[in-house]
Amino acid sequence: TGLGKRFGRVRVVDEPLTEGQAFLLARAPSNVAAGDEVRYLLRSEADRLSLPELDFWLIDSHTLLTLVFDDADTTLGVTVTEEPAEVLAACQVRDAAWHFASSTADFARRIPSDM
């Protein structure tokens, strides 16, 4: 952030929060203080918006890293692409999620973590 770069994420979460989601929400303020803009979107809202169920990272809106899971939700690895159509689609998903997501502070006021 000192170089003018942005670092942010949208966490899609359940209601009620899972134990892991509550843990991450309780610790998010330290990430925010370090310059990581963490936003939250309820899974029901993501479903209403027809956002795909993907866990991915975009690097400078140029490189797409998609996490791959098995049926038991075990992480199998990551795929990496710079293919323009795939990156653009992920940018559109990110922008929609970002627009409808709440800041950490606002979300924590509405749905506090019990951790």
Tell me which amino acid residue 53 is: E
Strands 63-69 and 102-103 turn out to be unpaired
Instruction: Give domain status of residue 67, yes or no.
Output: yes
Domain count, the chain: 1
Under the banding of pLDDT at 50, 70 and 90, the label for residue 54 is very high
Instruction: Give domain status of residue 115, yes or no.
Output: no
Instruction: Give domain status of residue 83, yes or no.
Output: yes
Say if residue 1's pLDDT is above 80.
no
Contact 94, 49 (CB under 8 A): no
Q: How far apart are CA 15 and CA 58, in angstroms?
A: 26
- Kindly report the three-state secondary structure assignment for every residue of 46-82: HHHCCCCCCCEEEECCCEEEEEEECCCCCEEEEEEEC
Report pLDDT digits (tens) over 10-51: 999 999 999 999 999 999 999 999 999 999 999 999 999 999
Instruction: Give domain status of residue 57, yes or no.
Output: yes
Q: What is the DSSP string of 78-99?
A: EEEE--HHHHHHHHHHHHHHHH
Question: What is the pLDDT, as a whole number, of residue 28?
Answer: 93
Backbone angles phi, psi at 90, to 5 degrees: -65, -35
Structural domain boundaries enclosing 64? 7-110
- Predicted TM-score (pTM) of the model is 0.88
Q: How far apart are CA 47 and CA 100, in angstroms?
A: 12
Instruction: Give domain status of residue 103, yes or no.
Output: yes
